């Protein structure tokens, strides 16, 4: 999943694809580089970000979504607002990536259920403006799994087909750096809820916990744009562990990492089985038409 942030203030590439023409061109480039899905978002969810209006979010994403869908690009919409998702679904988007897991807009699960599309349910404890005040865990893996389980029950109760649900542990969302590593290392437990195993989306690309890991001798975190190598390493490990999809800013090397991980799993099924994040879970079909 390649990222197109149509925002002036996203943490990793704010402003680079803010204009519609630049965002459309970047989406086409990501597909040419090997992305299976292009994830379009118009509202920054970086730590401390303030919310924008519904009208502004629609203004940013509408032309980008419309043009990329018309060009045959498989598109997901990254939004917490049902009206934005509804617009995207009406023009042909087949996946909704909701970082709030349906908590920010209670109409979202019902909309997704009626449309019959795939739904990424992300672990979330609150909006970006104060997310770190909520980053308090005794057992981060157990608590994230339990909270995701409650959200899955809620969206299924709203009519969402369980076979259309993808889980995302929400790396960085209401989590401090030390919370993200156990979630990555124990994806199998995140995926395994009471109702069975669910496919998992991993979004680690360029996030702050990677910059902290790679900090210089003086403790200064590595800049976001210099964390792509670490992102590729996480991609390979997550894919080898059975993740359904990885969400990344730079596609080519991450696509290579996914291919390597796939070959690894096929050649060493016993090793893969011990680490599989979602064993035997294919996940919903990728929203791809006309592509092998």
Enzyme catalytic residues: 207, 247
Of 69, 63, 176, which is closest to residue 117 (Cα–Cα)?
69
Residue 280, exposed/middle/buried by CB under 10 A (0-12, 13-18, 19+)? exposed
For the chain, the 3-state helix, strand and coil shares in percent, each to the nearest 5, are 45, 10, 40
- The residues with which 119 forms a beta bridge, in sequence order, are 96, 165
Find out whether 238 and 183 touch, Cβ atoms under 8 Å. no
Mark 245-261 as b/e (b = at least 16 C-beta within 10 Å): bbbbbbbebbbebbeeb
Q: Specify whether the CB–CB gap between 158 and 74 falls below 8 A.
A: no
Strand pairing of 38-41 and 2-5?
parallel
Q: Are 260 and 42 in contact (CB under 8 A)?
A: no
Residue burial 146-172, b: 16+ Cβ < 10 Å; e: rest? ebbbebbebbbebebeeebbbbbbbbb
The rounded distance, in Å, linking the Cα atoms of 280 and 292 is 21
Helix or strand run (H / E) with residue 202: strand 201-202
């Amino acid at each position: 999943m390649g990222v197109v942030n149509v925002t002036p203030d996203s943490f990793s590439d704010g402003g680079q694809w803010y204009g519609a023409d630049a965002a459309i061109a970047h989406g086409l480039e990501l597909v040419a580089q090997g992305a299976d899905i292009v994830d379009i978002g118009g509202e920054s969810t970086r730590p401390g970000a303030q919310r924008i209006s519904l009208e502004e979010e629609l203004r940013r994403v509408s032309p980008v979504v419309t043009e990329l869908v018309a060009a045959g690009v498989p598109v997901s919409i990254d939004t917490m607002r049902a009206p934005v998702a509804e617009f995207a679904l009406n023009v042909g988007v087949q996946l909704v990536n909701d970082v709030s897991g349906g908590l920010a807009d209670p109409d979202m699960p019902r909309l997704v259920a009626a449309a019959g599309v795939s739904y990424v349910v992300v672990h979330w404890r609150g909006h970006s403006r104060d997310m770190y005040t909520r980053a308090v865990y005794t057992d981060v893996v157990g608590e994230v799994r339990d909270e995701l389980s409650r959200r899955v029950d809620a969206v299924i109760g709203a009519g969402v087909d369980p076979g259309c649900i993808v889980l995302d542990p929400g790396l960085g969302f209401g989590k401090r750096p030390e919370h993200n590593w156990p979630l990555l290392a124990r994806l199998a437990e995140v995926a395994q809820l009471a109702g069975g195993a669910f496919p998992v989306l991993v979004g680690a690309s360029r996030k702050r916990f990677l910059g902290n890991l790679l900090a210089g001798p003086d403790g200064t975190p590595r800049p976001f744009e210099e964390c792509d190598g670490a992102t590729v390493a996480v991609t390979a490990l997550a894919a080898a562990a059975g993740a359904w999809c990885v969400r990344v800013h730079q596609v080519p090397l991450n696509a290579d990492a996914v291919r390597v991980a796939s070959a690894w799993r096929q050649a060493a099924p016993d090793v893969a089985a011990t680490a599989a994040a979602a064993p035997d879970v294919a996940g919903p079909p990728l929203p791809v038409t006309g592509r092998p």
